[in-house]
Every structure is written in C-alpha cells, then in structure tokens.
Structure 1
Amino acid sequence: MSQDSPEGQHVRLIGGRYRLSDLLGSGAMGTVWAGYDEVLQRRVAVKELKVPPGVPEQEAAEARERIMREARALGGLSHPNIITVFDVVDVDGAPVVVLELVPSRNLATMIGEQGTLTLQQSAVVGFATAGGLRAAHRSGITHRDVKPGNVLVADDGRVKLTDFGIARNIADAPMTSVGLVLGSPAYIAPEVAAGQPVTPAADLWGLGATLFAALEGRPPYDVHGDPVSTITEVVDGEVPRPRTSSAVADVIMALMVKDPDARMPLDEVRHRLRPLIDDPDDPLYPGSPDAPTIGAGLPVPTAAERAEFSAGRPAPLPPAPTGARHLVEPAPLATSPGPLPPARTRQPAPVRPVAATASRRHSAAAPPVTGMAAVGLVVAGAAVVVAGAIGGWTATRLLAGQSPFTTATVSSADTAP
C-alpha cells in the first residue's frame, strides 16, 4: 500500500510496519530501498524482487527462490562482518527481505574514488571479510560471489559482507541453468568458470581477487570488458601477481591458486593479516565517529535525511531528547582476565573426637550474651547452686536415719561410760 508522508513525499508501507522511501540501488532483478520500521523505530534496508516484463515464469520463479535463499542464508548467520536479516515480508506473492541498513560505500566504489587502498586498509578488509566467510562456511553456506561490490565499508569503519543472492547452503537443492555462470567474471574462481561444482574454496579465490583489486586498483582479470574472453583468461591464463611485495600480497598469491585444495585456509589468512592491524575493532576508515545507530524512541527520519541516504551520505543523528541521561563509559576490560578459579571439589570431613565436635557445635550455635540476658544467666546459676546444696543436705540426713525437718542435740552425758 502507499501513503503520503507528513513531508508530502509519496512512500509505501509494506507488512504493516516498513515504510519505504528512498531508492538505494537497483539491478536487473532487484531493487533496494531505504526504509523505516515503524514498530521498532529504526532504519532498515528493504530488498525487493523486480522481474522485468517478458521474463519467462521459470526464470521469475528462480529469482524468487534466489532471494529467499539469501534470506535463509543470512537469517541463519549472526556475525559482525555479515549483513543481518531482520524479516521477510510477502508482497503480492513475492518475497521482500528486510535487512540491516549500514550507511556505507562498497569497496568497488572506494577503489574507484581513491584508486588503491593502503596496506593496513587492505588488511582490515581481508581480516574482516575472512571472518565473515569463515562464519558462513561453518554454517554450510558458500557465498559464491565474493567481489569488491559485495564488501561494504561502513561510515564508522565496520566491514560487512553482503549480497548472498546466489549463496548456496549444502542442504539446498542445486539451481542450474543452461549456459548460466553464477558469479562475476573478473572475480570468479577458475574451477567455477570451467563448469565444476562450487565449493567453499571458490570464496577463497574471490577473497584473494578482491584484495588484489584493493591493492592494485583494478580487477585481476578484465579482457576489454568482454565477459566471455575474461572467463577464458581466468581458466587458461596465468594468475596475475601484485606489483609490490608485502604480507598482503603474499596472502593474495596464497589464495589465488588454481588448485582449490591448495588455497590458504581462512584461519591462516586472518593469522597472516592480524599483525598489520593495530586494533581490529578500530579500523582505519575515517568516517562519522558517532555513525548512526537509530534506537527506540528517536524521531522518524525526515525527508531531508532520507534524501541524504539516497545520495549515499549518512544522515546525522537526531538530537537527544530533553532530559536524556548521558551514558557512562564502561570501565576498560583488563588485558587478560587471569586464570579461572579452581573447581570446587567435595573434600571429606576430618575426623574429630566426639567431645570436641559437640563442644564446637555448641559454641557455634550459642548466640552472643549481652545486657539483661547476662543478669538472667547469673541468677539462674545461683539458683542451681542453692538447689544443689539443699538437695545434698537432705540426702545426707536421710542416709543417717534422721528426718530432714528435725534437729537432735547429742551431749557427752547421754553416752555410756
């Protein structure tokens, strides 16, 4: 459905909660919009399937299945270097995927603007992308189209892998089309270009080719812009090498190996690139230090803000509500948390004499004596002493055959001589 926004801009509302506004990007079979989730009050990206007129129904069905595969692939992944899927909405029988919106540029745009990346920037891209791919592979998902256009560099420096549109889970049935090569010719793995099955090793080649472009400012293969000639060169030609030697170049050469089984594993890629990064959590892409992360309770974005997104610029954070409390910076974590505390085991109780045990229990159970309680104890003790004396005297009289209540006087005159 459609409605007019308060600013007079014509927008669409889908799923009863997602308001679409600005166009972020468009391809042959899909369109990405900037949107706003009116329930959680946050910005989102909305990927909508677009089937051109005249496309056969079989191809349209494959396109719908492909966008659902992306949703399922991303929906099962949770990693800081992978775009997050929030929701899937059915709109007129076609799936619409609601994604995390990251104000960013893709790596291809960055290369086009600045030519090449520094060694440290390339290391950041490689380290982060390898982390995202490792998470995908552990979940049984192969991306199948790793290239600079699918690596996002956010305005706050985060690096995220996106566009799993042709990703495949090992549990999915294969999708094949006659004469169709899935992937980008300049970055496709040689075995995939030759028609062999796609494996996670194809993503390793794509990562190496992506880093090659970042370091050299150009794709590793491009024969006059002709896709067929480029694919032929990928399969039969020599593997290009970076012009300068560096740790990043060594990783590239270890990834761009035609034998899939001989390519460097992702763990080793991260191990090699880690020393080039001062802090993996503080990448070297300057941007807005307070890049927008819109939370609940903040105003709905204005038309001007949406226009900035459509132009590729991040919208500023809205002002904090009056009276809002400033967040307190958490204390920094220690460099090392130290050893874990020893496990508590049940120890046998030591054997003590019975008397000592009883005395210990009595002393442990006795409450402290203070005030009037002390006076009461003294009186009670005196009464016990007096009662004991009287009892002893009475018992002695009875044993002597005398009444305890009479007194007899014995003198020497009453005794025999």
Structure 2
Amino acid sequence: MEGLLAERYQLETVVGSGGMGTVWRAHDMLLDRQVAIKEVRYSAQLSDAERNAQTTRAVAEARHAARLEHPRIVPIYDVVIHDARPWIVMRYIAGRSLEQQIVADGRLAPADVLRLARGLLEAIAASHRGGVLHRDIKPSNVLIAEDGEPMLTDFSIARAIGQGTATNTGLIVGSPGYIAPERVVTGVAGPEADLFGLGATLYFAAEGVGPFAHEDAMAGAFAAAIHPHPRPQHAGPVLTPLLDGLLEKDPRKRLTPADAANLLGLPTTAHPAPPIPPPATPGPPSSPTPTPPLATPPDPFLATPAPPAPEPFQTTPPPQPSQATPPSPAA
C-alpha cells in the first residue's frame, strides 16, 4: 500500500514542514488512532557513512526522549526506519502551531504570552530533568492544544545532556534566529541554549516577529549571536524582563528555569536545576568576579577565563597628554 510505513502507519496529509523534515498526519492501523509522524530529512552533502551514523544517533535520541512524560510535552510513540531514514511517531495534536496562530491572528496579549511561558517553562524543565536537550525550540515546534495550553513537540534533533551538539560534519542544526549564541560560536551548548530558544519564541509571540528575523538564514543565525535583540514594544512590565533575561548572549548570565519561574510567579520548587554538571564553555563557576559583556562573538564563551581585573566592566582610560599626574585609582 502506498504511503505505508512498517506495515502499520498510513500516511495521510502533510501538516507541517521545515528545514529538518516534514510532519505527516497518519493513521495507526494497528491501534486505530491518528498519529503525527516526523519524516527526518538529511542534507544531500552527507556521505552514506554519515547518514547511517545520523540515523543511529537519531534513533537512540528518540528512544531517550520517548521516556519523557509531562502534560506539556508531546509524547513519542515509536521510531520507524524507512528509506534509510528515521520516521518519528508522536501523538497527534489537533489544532495549530504557535507560528501558524501568530501568522493568522497576530501577536498575543501579554497575559496570553505569560500563560504560554509558564507551560513551556514546565516542559523544558521536565525535559532537562529527564536528561534531554530539545535544541530546536521555536514557534513551529509549539502546538496549542484544544484547552489553549502549549505543548512542546519535535524532539527529532534532541540530544542527551552531556553529549556534543554539532554533527559529525561540523554543521549546527537548528533554526536561524532561535539558535543560542554559544552554539553558533562554539558549536556546543548546555541546557541554557533551550532557555534562549524559549526567549526568542516568547518574543515572537509577544511582538509578532522573531527578535532576529532576517531573510538570509546565515545572517539570522549570526544576528542572534552578535546583535542585541530589539526592545520589546508590546511585552509589558512583567514580560519584558523575562525576555531580556532569556535572550542574554552570555549563557552564564541567562535566566535559569528557577529565575524564570520567580518572574512568572511559579513555585521554584517545581523547577529545580537539572542534576547535571555545568556546561564546559563558561568560566570557572567558583569565580566571584563577574565576566565582561560580549565584545566579539567568541569572547564570552571561551573555556579559558580572562585574566582577573579589579573592575571587569570598566576599562582604564589612556593618560591624556595634558595631565600632569595619572588618574586617581578611585576614578
């Protein structure tokens, strides 16, 4: 039968597509229910060996993500290998993605964005507690359920916490404008990267456009790494500091789930820090001295800390020829 996977899943209609693949609505003939199936696509530049390695990794990560259980996470049911590629079977959620909703109806009111933020923060915290990085949090990967609550979907490029985030070919997978700066600069990242994607997604919901929207995909990716996000115009007094904190370039200064929960009025005990080591890219966690802000793309993400300075956010002005004495140390 045409469009039949694993002699069980009958493909019906395309319900979404993106750079990493196509999402189908399908019918599970064994259990007589609708499902969503992500058809993962690979770059034509990959060799057969690289494709096989990617398929093996995708299946392993899908199995890992399938263990996540949370009402705000779309569960994974199955993984099928067809045409030498993985097809990820998930629960079918009737309705629209956040991207489709904003494009059709316009930006959300601040109160609705806060509701969205609470649901997605819970999903991300649960994912991290389960040891999984989503790596592609964006409006098209947020579904709005029939009760109006958001659900995080598409863990097709997820990675277990502690593993690298670049492919064997050196490519950074993800969506331009939503990829965290540290991933663009260094190719590796920890849980903080998902918080950046959350911030960019909430910004899109509040403003109706992404914070780093650009016609050119490469320019959009680097804009997120080197340019400040535009000041929110519609976010309001509660949401604006949340967006600013989540969109921090330096992952060491970015809001943690507990910080974001505080701003949202959620109990921080519901969002404990994931039991994982800190990412390798920031400076030593024991250093009490704050680090300087981003000057050039790589600076805040180097593993080697900068030499200590008395005032890391100040620079000593050069002596002026007209001065008879050097500036006072207290200046």
TM normalised by structure 1 equals 0.58
8 Å contact kept, 1:66–1:165: no
| SS across alignment from 2:136 | coil
CA pair 221-27 structure 1, distance change in 2 beyond 3 A: closer
Alignment match, 1:141: 132
Q: How does 1:162-241 map to 2 (within 5 A)?
A: 162-170=153-161, 172=163, 175-178=166-169, 180-223=171-214, 225-241=215-231
User: Does the residue aligned with 2:73 lie in a helix, a strand or coil?
Assistant: coil
Is the counterpart of residue 153 in structure 1 residue 162 in structure 2?
no
Task: Specify the code of the residue in structure 2 equivalent to 1:240.
Answer: P
Equivalent residues of 2:68, 2:127 under 8 A apart:
yes
Structure 1 position 27, deviation (Å): 4.1
Cα distance change of structure 1 residues 30 and 236 upon mapping to structure 2, 3 Å threshold: closer
CA 1:51/1:142 → structure 2, altered by over 3 Å: closer, same or farther?
Answer: closer
Structure 1 partner of 2:79: 88
Change (3 A) 1:168 1:53: closer
Matches within 5 A, 1:369-380: none
Corresponding position of 2:23: 32
Cα offset, 1:147, TM superposition: 1.2
2:95 — aligned with what? Answer: 104
CA distance in 1, matches of 2:163, 2:188: 14
> Which ranges in structure 1 are unaligned for 5 or more consecutive residues?
3-10, 276-417
Query: Which whole-Å deviations, capped at 9, do the CAs of 1:48-80 have from their partners, x for residues lacking one?
Result: 344577853244335424542552242120111
Q: Work out whether residues 127 and 274 of structure 1, in 8 Å CA contact, stay in contact via their aligned partners in 2.
A: no
Aligned to 1:256: 247
Taking the aligned partners of 1:272 and 1:141, their CA distance within structure 2 comes to: 24
Unaligned runs of at least 5 residues, structure 2: 267-331
2:110 corresponds in structure 1 to 119
Deviations 1:224-259 (A, max 9, x none): x12333333322222332124321112111211122
Q: Which moved more, 1:47-56 or 1:70-79?
A: 47-56
Is contact 1:193–1:235 with CA below 8 Å preserved after alignment? yes
> Matches of 1:174 and 1:115 in 2, distance apart?
33
Q: Which has the larger radius of gyration?
A: 1
C-alpha distance in structure 2 between counterparts of 1:151 and 1:188, whole Å: 16
How has the CA–CA distance of structure 1 residues 130 and 69 changed in structure 2, closer, same or farther, with 3 Å as cutoff? farther
C-alpha distance in structure 2 between counterparts of 1:53 and 1:199, whole Å:
28
Note the C-alpha offset of 1:272.
2.7
Instruction: Report the RMSD for the aligned CA atoms in angstroms.
Output: 2.5
Cα distance per residue 1:256-280 (max 9 Å; x no partner): 11221222221332343248xxxxx
Q: Of 124, 131, 149, which residue of structure 1 is paired with 2:122?
A: 131
Aligned length: 265
